[in-house]
Structure 1
Amino acid sequence: MARILVVAAHADDEALGCGGTLAKHAQTGDDIRILFMTDGEGARGSAVADVPRRRAASLFAAEIMGANPPVHFDFPDNAMDNVPRIRIVQAIEAELADFAPDVVYTHHAHDLNIDHRLTHEAVMTALRPQPHAPRPTILSFEVMSSTEWQTPGAATAFVPNWHVDISEFLEVKKAALRAYHGEMRPWPHSRSIEALEYLARWRGACVGLIAAEAFSLVRKLG
């Protein structure tokens, strides 16, 4: 049994980026812990923010994917750049010490969303390769409506080099996304159920599969 850690900025990023992969891990008996760095609602203002609903959705999605109940931090939504970096890193380090993951999934380093970028940087800082430090495999995922919205450029592009076959888990991913119905958008928005299914099928077709999720391998020790 492997220990799988997901470090995501907002509740729904995990289902968007690696929901099918998490369901596949769960089927093999892997232990899955999900960390959410922000409540995902604070930037919307008090008139529309609904933190309890978002947290309930994240719990439902975790159950669908076969993960443990998520851990929620309270860093400010879309304003993590206002927090001392050491606080974010230390929060992740505490979870790493407690859970000792074999694999870590987190955001692409160059997403448009500032919280995504800072989450990635904090993960890499917490997992800096010091002697005797934990050395899990680190994979970054793509989150539609952030990864693909970044200004195009070779330095910022998401270039997948790791694909996971989710042909048997695409419907589970879609069910987890539906748990976040308040965050999903109608087609042709890139954060729609249809767009996410088309992306999974395209990522699959790129490697001869019915459906896949794509990742960028950040670090793996052989």
Structure 2
Amino acid sequence: MSKILLLSPHTDDVELGCGGSVAKFIEQGHEVLWIAFSVAEDSLPADLPKDTLAREFEKVIDRYGLKPNDREILGFRVRHMSEYRQDVLDHLVKVRSEYEPDIVIGPSLHDYHQDHQVVANEMIRAFKTTSSIISYELPWNNVRFDSQLFISLDEGHLQKKWEALQEYRSQMLRSRGYFDREFIFGTARMHGVQCGEKYAEAFEVIRWRL
């Protein structure tokens, strides 16, 4: 059994990037710690409560069957994470010491969202000598993506991902294409074809320790 650390700059990034793989990890009995760095209060429509995404994230975690101590919600301000780069690193170093993950999964260095770049860079600084590090794909943010590792999935894993994403009612209302079921299953099917499976999610390998 491995200890897996999931890094989500915003509450929905891990689910979108590797939610099927998360379902598989949990099914296989791996230990998971899931950290969301921002609940993006400033990006919500004015008529929604500021804690909307935090509450939705909690429902997602519960849907995956994780316990309260398997999650952390931090309070970094959306689109301003670069101002708190050292705080992000300090927290990751603390997690490294206390949790000692075998595998760390976070955003890609090729992701152009400013908050994702901060988490990606500090993830590598914190864990480059202690853990295997891989990055998930968010195609709408990636200027490039090197699909070096594939995790094969079955339809049940993808269904769990899809059901979890349904908890983000605030995002579904905004008609974002990457919350579309056809997109989620279609992308997984494409990666499945790439690796000889029916479905898969793709990752970049930053470090892999054997």
Fold similarity call, TM over 0.5:
yes
Q: Secondary structure in 1 aligned to 2:205?
A: strand
Aligned with residue 159 of structure 1, among 119, 126, 146: 146
In 1, distance between residues paired with 2:117 and 2:48?
23
Preserved contact between residue 41 and residue 49 of structure 1 (Cα < 8 Å)? no
Deviation at 1:9, TM superposition (A): 0.3
Q: Secondary structure in 1 aligned to 2:40?
A: coil
Residues 94 and 214 of structure 1: CA distance in aligned 2, closer, same or farther (over 3 Å): same
In 1, distance between residues paired with 2:153 and 2:27?
12
Structure 2: where are the runs of 5+ without partners?
none
Structure 1: where are the runs of 5+ without partners?
130-134, 151-156
Q: CA RMSD in A?
A: 1.8
User: Percent of aligned positions with the same letter in both sequences?
Assistant: 24
Q: Report what 2:80 is aligned to.
A: 79
- Residues 1:54 and 2:49 aligned together: no
Q: Report what 2:131 is aligned to.
A: 136
- Residues 1:170 and 2:165 aligned together: no
Higher mean displacement: 193-202 or 102-111: 193-202
- The one-character-per-residue Cα deviations of 1:38-77 (angstroms, maximum 9, x if unpaired) are 11232447x2554422112112211222334420111110
TM-score for both structures, normalised by structure 2: 0.90
Matched to 1:81, the amino acid is S
Preserved contact between residue 128 and residue 207 of structure 2 (Cα < 8 Å)? no
- The one-character-per-residue Cα deviations of 1:91-125 (angstroms, maximum 9, x if unpaired) are 11111211111110000012121000110011111
Q: Where do 1:48-127 residues align within 5 Å?
A: 48=47, 50-69=49-68, 70-83=71-84, 85-127=85-127
Matched residue pairs, number? 206
Preserved contact between residue 12 and residue 183 of structure 1 (Cα < 8 Å)? no
Residues 160 and 44 of structure 1: CA distance in aligned 2, closer, same or farther (over 3 Å): same
Residues 55 and 8 of structure 1: CA distance in aligned 2, closer, same or farther (over 3 Å): same
Q: Report what 1:195 is aligned to.
A: 183
In 1, distance between residues paired with 2:26 and 2:94?
24
TM-score for both structures, normalised by structure 1: 0.85
Matched to 2:117, the amino acid is R
Preserved contact between residue 9 and residue 37 of structure 2 (Cα < 8 Å)? yes
Structure having the higher helix fraction is 2
